[in-house]
Structure 1
Amino acid sequence: MNKKIKSFALSILLVIPFIYSYAQQKTKAAASNWRMQPVHVPTRWAKDVSPTNVLKEYPRPQLVRQNWQNLNGLWQYAISGKDADIPKQFDGHILVPFPLESALSGIEKQLMPDQLLWYKRIIDCPSIPTNERLLLHFGAVDWQTTVFVNGRQIGIHTGGYQNFSFDITDYIKRGANELLVKVYDPTDRGPNPHGKQVLNPQNIYYTSTSGIWQTVWIEKVPAIHVTSIRTTPDIDNSVIRVTVNVSKENSNLKVKVTAKTNGRIVKSVNGKTGTTIELPITKARLWTPDDPFLYDLNIKLLQGSKVIDKVDSYFGMRKIDIQKDEKGIDRIFLNNKYTYNLGTLDQGYWPDGIYTAPTDEALAFDIKAIKAMGFNTIRKHIKIEPARWYYHADQIGILVWQDFVNPPHGLPDSSKQIFENEVRATIDQLYNHPSIITWVLFNERWGAYDQKRLTEWVKLYDPSRLVNGHSGELLYVNDRLRARADSPYISSDMVDVHSYPDPMAVPYLPGKARVLGEFGGIGVPVPEHEWNDLQGWGYIQVTPMELVGKYEIMLKRLKKLEIEGLSGSIYTQPFDVEGEVNGLLTYDREIIKIPINQLQDVHQEFVPRMRKGVLNPESSIAENVNINDTDQRFPELLNEYEKGKRDSAFLRRLTLMAHRKKDKINATKISNDYIAGLKEPYSKKNLIFIRQVTQTSNDSGFKLFQSNPEKVNAILGGNAAELKIKEVIHQEEIAPYISDSNITPDWDAIHKSIISKYGNLFEEYVLGQQMIYYINKKDWESFGKYYVSYFEKAVMHSDYNINNVSWYIFLYINDPKILEFAVKVNKINVENFDKTAEAHDTYANLLYKLGKTKEAIEWQEKAVKMSNNDTEIAKNLAKMKKGQPTWH
């Protein structure tokens, strides 16, 4: 090595420790500044989360080794354009593994489909001996992940719910190493399975999550090591079948598989890797929800007589199938015994972590709470949980119906292969968990295709479980059939009906169990425990007092259906989720809406072994709801307000009460006090609330939107400020004068009043209202006049659909000047805003009526082509070519 090279190498060695030390200092500084973003209803576990305390538990209980390092904590992050290179600067720090959109990430930003999310972290690596490898593991990253180590791309993974790993041994050096992760996630705008995540959540859809959302960790393993195991219990033959897969096959490899209980060896068998090894388990203690007994499993990988790798696992001895009961009814049997599946629909969402539970204790709590209420089944709805959730389900003892994550609606061909790859990966990932007894292929036909083929493929790939291929293919809403497939339940083990709100009878099909895959959905908002107090949603709304009686009536109906042949039912749902308030517990898990003892009592009719109190090791899972805390308290709370009570939560609640009571005077007065006390009135959450409660020009919200519309629009998007101002102006200045159809409004007076109060900016709004008024009156001469007046000012930012309004010009106006003006307006429309066939058709017809036949035919031909030969559009083209009028 020459002197220059030696000098350069030395400088590198000196710089690396400096960079690593500098990175450590930056991370420590960021840790001291990290804060969870504000959450209206945080869970009790959020306070336990910090940059040094983030989901520390071993993340893979089915394949345990001791030599591992958790990488959860603060990472640098950046958001860039979709086509951007690796960023030179980062935006700040994010708490991994909480999704970017969550409060616990410390960021709470929405990743858009045209953006990338970047993560960076410096990791310290020891030297790796030649007979060992270093693996980098990700629990889950949503959706497409590219990983770089020290600037070199090491791999790409696609799939938002499946774990994946990369061998990074050949890319690292001793000491500081840069780990970089690039994530692309189009949410519901791409070909990817995305579950209930959408960019604009409403009703049954929720906030999207992007990026790393499960534990990241590194693990040192032997060069030849166990990569996976597969365990299949067979209680009828008293064996557990085990397959051990390794990183590199070798004729000299053997595996020793040992089953234990309480440290005592039950059976130990030697065999070959990659083959099925049978361990006899005589007098097996069977796994059930009443007795969730698990055997320990020890795997040793031998090369000759030397142990080169060892992992620990576990298994449960259980069987699930469809059998006939003593009356000849096809039912669900667990361990050759009829077992009613009394379940609830668990979405797996959290107010502070969204997709990611704040702590492992929180993750287990949900299962414990559901079982404490007397259920023995959870339908995990269109989400795959971290491995530790299923580990807790195995230990606590709950039956699991596991949904696959649905492909997108309007399925492109590329989505089908993506979906099928993820189905296979999901089965492989979760195969060993005894709690999972059913795979649910499609829900209510969301993205459904090739159901027969796919149902049969899942059954063939995993014959140890039931397959519910068509959940909710029959859907009842308020006792009326709403949807039906052409050939329901082909090849499925179940006939599955969804029925809201009340349970309905399920059709009989030979050889299939009958189940209610969803029912219930009774909405009960609980003040001060709502994710969004502006949007409470359920299939029906009742008071807390009414809920108990309604639920008991439903369960009596359910018992009658069970006697007639029903084998299972899934109640919607255990916890409120965002805008849905139909949970038995609130979203923050703090309030239970039916006392726990009453739930256990009514559920004993279905799950008799679940005795009162047995399932609840804690004194209480949640506080009972106050059944009297409803809007009937408005006079009482108003009296407290008048006596001087002014805390923010109280004012917010009282504002909404006043609005629901239609008490406009107090609504304005109280909301003004609430807004005056806000520290950050221009935060997005506060502006959404202010927009909702602003109804008069005397409201503080109106003045806030009027004084700074640019700032409001930048936060809420579009012309949110102007739209709210126009809404109020309409209600106060226009609506009172046009409500009586027998009175002609004095538009000049209305015009002068609005201009004098709000300025010329709102003149075009009045003109637009006049235009619409005269359409409704079918006064076409006046309509034409105000069409011109309005679009002279507003063509580039119209409040109205130009195509729809202009069609009336085509039909009823003959004045050439107005037609000429309408042609200009619609040319702007088709060139800038509306690329539909209908807009082209309107433009062509206006040209034709004006006498510009040749140009009209050219545009009409474009419209026909765009519409795939729509009959009406094609008829208009034929008339134009024959010189016939198209406006009669």
Structure 2
Amino acid sequence: MSPATPSATDVVAVPETTQPNPAAAPAGPSASTTPSASTAAPAGIVVPKPEYPRPDRDRSAAWLTLNGPWDFESEYGTTRITVPFAWETEASGVQRTWLERGTYRRSVTVPAEWDGSRVLLCFGAVHHWARVLVDDVEVGVHVGGYTSFELDVTTVAAPGASVMVTVEVEAPADKRSIPHGKQRSVPRDDYDGVSFTPTSGIWQSVWLEARGRSYVAELALRGDSLTGIDVVGTVLGDAPTAPVHVRVLDEAAGTAGSDGSSGADRSSGADRSSAAAVVLEPDATGRFTGRLELTDPHLWSPDDPHLYRVELTTGTGVAADRVAATTGLRRIAVEGDHLTLNGEHLYVRGVLDQGYWPRTGLTAPDDDALVRDLELARRYGYTLVRKHIKLEEPRWLHHADRLGMLVWSEPPAPSRYSLEAAGAFEAQLPDLVERDGSHPSIVVWGLYNEEWGLDWDIPGSPERAEAAAHAYDVMRLLDATRPIVENSGWSHVRTDLVDWHYYEVDHAAWAANVAALADGSREDFPVMLGPDFTVDKSLYGAPDHPRTGIPLLNSEYGAGFTNLERAWHLRWQTQELRRHDRYAGYVYTELTDVEHEAAGLVDADRREKDRGGLDPADVNATTVLVLDVVPAAAGADVPVPTHPWDLVVRVSHHGRAAARGRVRAAWVSAGAAFGAGPVAPTAESAPVDVEPFVLSGPTAIRVPAPGPVASARLHVWLVDDSGAVLARTFVDAGPVEPPNRRGARTTTTD
């Protein structure tokens, strides 16, 4: 080893800022929580993910990142591992799959400036069982691979002294009875075909931070009243009944930079609030509740993601503690068969995101990767991300808050039912709500997914149906401010949204079944669970479940084996969902490829795919065109017309106000994308008037034949009176070549 390279047991990170009293000044803005490599570690050591992990609960005035090299001991010997990457990943430097135990060690020097403060050791997530020691003294044990935890190490980690931090981890290969989401298990799960490389050990950031002698631990901020911020929390430490001073510190505008800071943060540290403040008195257990009334409330929405930073101060003088938490004023509600956001009709245009990266697994390689995925979803026209059976790190949620992206959040589940497994699933819910509940971006809580952990048998098992209903009840007690889905996709027994997952390669069958589910004439749909295993799954797992008066939406769909086929299905299947006003939205599968799963709009490295000229933003626009066409095949929706053709067009519009326009059409070269060159319309409809959230009536437009060509593309678009384009789509015309089956084996009988 080079003398210039420190050993893994040396301190390899220093806090960017430390203060003798971490609460002597307001928690610093997020822009100051990103140490540079030169200040975060000795020369030659680049600390991964150096940003302060909790910008939504900011104590970055005095903190120390412990990301970077640690010593790592396993059955294969001792090596070095890079935290916070799971030991299965390339980025960790270990890259061992099916390793079930490992021990992390590193020395840490607590800054001398923290004298008189409490010292907290914080973990973003460790899968699955973790025992933490400081200088061989056990300071805590945590179970649960996706939930955060923190340990008060004040008595064993004196400021100015070096201590050895040890983390012993167990990560069972047989994960069937523990919450593990998409991690592959041995023995294999029933859904192994859609499972991926496991994530074991420390896989989110680890850090130390200084707090006051008494400090706010649990905290919930809710802005559902739309007029103020409701505050609930708990004080721990020397004086748990000490008064808590709460005020609006500033207003963090939603146009924040990718570093997580707001324009207000960067421009000045001055308090620009309207002096909204209150003093709250905790009870004997340290619990406090109260409310901050706002004189000029500014609501949070995707179009205007306005955030409030709320400062909570506990104690006085050198023993005081301050934390700046972030939230927004917004209300998500179920009103009959649709959703509302801040009292306005909300139609969900969502995309599934599993949160995997090629070299780093479930851990984002850096903060920019989190932002890029959110911006990618926005660029494709999506307004919601369904983070699939994974509790994503708080920095991602903070970016969703400030960028205005709605989030459907759901925890991992086990894959086999037992009372123990159901208990382990529910045990993570309080931590989920406490950590993430203040984020205005989260508008749906999901629980189980497709009866995973319930043996795919809610209809045939009252016990499993009761487990799903009980999970709903537990979550409802924890948070009554958001819709809850107890079993996403199938067999609902107690839910605020009836969602369904349906994958279909036959477009005619898709269109017919989507229509039948919308009008209630059908309540089930085929689900292929294996090559020789297809079942009819029902929307409802109980005969008395309400059929009306509750939102109905698709939360997984998509089909096709090639990129062009997937783009074709995206275009036509989404338009069929928009055809039916009964639906409250959709969630497309999926944003990115993951390992062997190639269903993403982009590949696993976030590179664009060839979609044959389709822009997903057109598919997911506020206003879209719905064509009365049953497409034949990718690249050949219809035969090439030889005579004038009457194309029937409808308009689905989800804007706040009515719209008016004319449909235009023109033939272009096969495969030509919009904007590839000037196009003059060859056909135009009469004016079309469209009301919000009501599909327009049919409008026929006579399209001339394209001439003697083998194939062509018909661009179709809607323009308003000013000529602005409101919506656009296309129809491909060409021959469908029959499949070549020469040499196929045939069966003969005598």
1:288 aligned counterpart, secondary structure: coil
- How many angstroms does 1:603 deviate by? 1.3
Deviation at 1:264, TM superposition (A): 1.1
Aligned equivalent of 2:78, options 79, 83, 91: 91
| Distance across 1 between alignment mates of 2:166 and 2:180 | 24
Shift of 1:594: 3.5
CA separation of 1:275 and 1:30: change in aligned 2, threshold 3 A? closer
> Is 1:401 the counterpart of 2:408 in the alignment?
yes
- Structure 2 residue ranges without an equivalent (≥5): 13-40, 252-263, 265-270, 455-463, 505-509, 521-545, 624-652, 657-670, 674-739
| Cα distance in structure 1, aligned partners of 2:167 and 2:273 | 44
Q: 1:231 aligns with which of 203, 214, 221?
A: 221
Q: Which amino acid aligns with 1:323?
A: E
Structure 1 residue runs without a partner (length 5+): 1-20, 32-48, 82-89, 325-329, 474-484, 523-539, 611-624, 628-660, 663-738, 743-888
How much has 1:128 moved relative to structure 2? 7.7
Whether 2:7 is the aligned partner of 1:26: answer yes
Aligned match of 2:587 in 570, 578, 598?
Answer: 570
Over residues 182-234 of structure 1, what are the superposed CA-to-partner deviations in whole Å (9 max), with x where a residue is unaligned?
10011443531000101468531111010000000001122212213210113
Do residues 207 (structure 1) and 201 (structure 2) align? no
Residue 510 of structure 1 corresponds to: 548
1:600 aligns with 2:624: no
**8 Å CA contact 1:290, 1:609 repeated in 2:** no
Determine helix, strand or coil for the equivalent of 1:183.
strand
1:596: Cα distance to partner?
A: 9.1
In 1, Cα distance between the equivalents of 2:610 and 2:180?
30
Instruction: Verify: 1:247 aligned to 2:236, yes or no.
Output: yes
Matched with 1:182 is 168
Q: Which amino acid aligns with 1:243?
A: V
* Corresponding position of 2:573: 554
Separation (CA, whole Å) in 2 of partners of 1:210 and 1:596: 41
Alignment of 1:874-885 (within 5 A): none
Classify the secondary structure of the residue corresponding to 1:145.
strand
- Looking at structure 1, the residues matched to 747 and 230 of structure 2 have their Cα atoms a distance apart, in angstroms, of 79
What's 1:300 paired with?
313
The residue type equivalent to 2:288 in the other structure is T
User: Equivalent residue for 1:272?
Assistant: 281
Partners of 2:65 and 2:207 within 8 A in 1: yes
Structure 1 residues 349-360: aligned runs within 5 Å:
349-360=356-367
How big is the shift at 1:355? 0.7
Partner of 2:461: none
Shift of 1:464: 0.7
Match of 1:221 among 197, 211, 224: 211
Q: How does 1:140-219 map to 2 (within 5 A)?
A: 140-173=125-158, 174-189=160-175, 191-199=177-185, 202-219=192-209
Deviations 1:782-806 (A, max 9, x none): xxxxxxxxxxxxxxxxxxxxxxxxx
Could you say what secondary structure the match of 1:496 adopts? Answer: strand
Indicate if the aligned counterparts of 1:195 and 1:405 stay in contact, CA closer than 8 A.
Answer: yes
SS across alignment from 1:194: coil
CA shift, 1:135, in A, is 1.0
Q: Highest CA radius of gyration, 1 or 2?
A: 1
Alignment-mate amino acid for residue 63 of structure 2: W
List aligned pairs for 1:422-433, cutoff 5 A. Answer: 422-433=428-439
TM-score for both structures, normalised by structure 2: 0.66
How far did residue 593 of structure 1 move?
Answer: 4.0
Give SS of 2:88's match: coil
Q: Is 1:121 matched with 2:112?
A: no
Determine the C-alpha separation between the residues in 1 that align with 2:480 and 2:212: 33
In the aligned structure 1, how far is the partner of 2:747 from the partner of 2:572? 47
Which among 535, 555, 561 is matched to residue 541 of structure 1? 561
- The residue identity in structure 2 corresponding to 1:384 is L
Which residue is equivalent to 2:471? 454
Name the SS for the 2:140 alignment partner. Answer: strand
Aligned residue number for residue 52 of structure 1? 46
Query: Retained in 2: the 8 A contact 1:489–1:495?
Result: no
Contact 2:242 2:281 in 1 (8 A): no
Partner of 2:92: 105
User: Partner of 1:340 in structure 2?
Assistant: 347
Rounded to whole Å, the distance in 2 between the matches of 1:246 and 1:596 is 57
Matched to 2:70, the amino acid is W
Q: Distance in 2 between matches of 1:30 and 1:148?
A: 17
| SS of residue in 2 equivalent to 1:342 | strand
- Counterpart check, 1:313 vs 2:325: yes
Query: Superposition pairs for residues 255-266 of structure 1, below 5 Å?
Result: 255-261=245-251, 262=264, 263-266=271-274
Paired with 1:353 and 1:388, the residues of 2 have a C-alpha distance of 17
Shift of residue 391, structure 1, vs aligned partner: 0.4
Structure 1 position 571, deviation (Å): 0.5
Measure, in 1, the Cα distance between the counterparts of 2:432 and 2:613.
34
Match of 1:134 in 2: 119
Q: Aligned residue pairs: how many?
A: 533
State the one-letter code of the partner of 1:500.
Answer: Y
Distance 2:173 2:437 in 1: 27
Letter of the 2:84 counterpart? P
1:60-71 to structure 2, matched below 5 A, reads 60-65=54-59, 66-71=61-66
- The answer as to whether partners of 2:179 and 2:425 remain within 8 angstroms in 1 is yes
Tell me: CA distance 1:239–1:389, structure 2 relative to 1, closer, same or farther (3 Å). same
Q: Tell me the amino acid that sits aligned with residue 306 of structure 2.
A: F
Output the CA distance in 1 between the equivalents of 2:278 and 2:175: 51
Alignment check: 8 A CA contact 1:253 1:272 kept: yes
Normalized per residue, which structure has more strand? 2
User: Is this contact kept in 2: 1:138–1:215, CA < 8 A?
Assistant: yes
Kept in 1, the 8 Å contact 2:175–2:414? The answer is no
Note closer, same or farther for the CA distance 1:196–1:254 as it changes in structure 2 (3 Å cut).
closer
Corresponding letter in the other structure for 2:117 = E
Which whole-Å CA distance do the structure 1 matches of 2:476 and 2:613 have between them?
38
Return the structure number with greater relative CO, CA threshold 8 A, min gap 6: 2
Structure 1 or 2: larger helix share? 1
CA distance in 1, matches of 2:98, 2:78: 14
Between the aligned partners of 1:740 and 1:552, the Cα distance in structure 2 is 39
Shift of 1:78: 1.5
Shift of 1:422: 0.7
The alignment status of 1:519 with 2:526, answered yes or no, reads: no
Q: How does 1:365-444 map to 2 (within 5 A)?
A: 365-409=372-416, 411-444=417-450
2:219–2:434: 8 Å Cα contact kept in structure 1? no
Q: Secondary structure at the match of 1:515?
A: strand
Deviations 1:5-64 (A, max 9, x none): xxxxxxxxxxxxxxxx99973349999xxxxxxxxxxxxxxxxx9941300100011221
Distance in 2, matches of 1:133 and 1:543, equals 54
CA distance in 2, matches of 1:407, 1:351: 24
Distance verdict in 2 for CA 1:239–1:68, change over 3 Å: same
Whether contact under 8 Å (1:149, 1:180) holds in the other structure is yes
Map of 1:497 onto structure 2: 500
Residue pair 1:315, 1:432 contacting (<8 A) in 2 also: yes
Within 2, Cα distance between the matches of 1:28 and 1:405? 33
What's the CA shift string for 1:417-455, capped at 9, x where partnerless?
221111221111111110001111111111133222221
Secondary structure at the counterpart of residue 382 of structure 2: coil
* Contact map agreement 1:128 1:169 (CA 8 A) in 2: no
SS at match of 1:580: coil
Deviation at 1:133, TM superposition (A): 1.6
CA 1:25–1:275: 2 relative to 1, 3 Å: closer
Change (3 A) 1:204 1:246: same
- The CA deviation string for residues 848-868 of structure 1, in whole angstroms up to 9 with x for no partner, is xxxxxxxxxxxxxxxxxxxxx
Q: Are residues 306 and 599 of structure 1, via their aligned partners in 2, closer, same or farther at CA, if it must alter by over 3 Å?
A: same
Distance 1:366 1:468, change over 3 A: same
Distance 1:30 1:426 in 2: 32
| Deviation for aligned residue 1:299 | 1.6
Kept in 2, the 8 Å contact 1:300–1:307? The answer is no
- Residues 316 and 594 of structure 1, relative CA distance in 2, 3 Å threshold: farther
Shift of 1:244: 3.4
How far 1:270 moved relative to its partner? Answer: 2.0
- 1:626–1:587: structure 2 CA closer, same or farther, 3 Å change rule? farther
Instruction: Report the 3-state secondary structure (helix = DSSP H, G, I; strand = E; otherwise coil) of the residue aligned with 1:417.
Output: helix
Question: CA–CA distance in 2 between the matches of 1:385 and 1:233?
Answer: 22
CA distance in 2, matches of 1:368, 1:595: 22
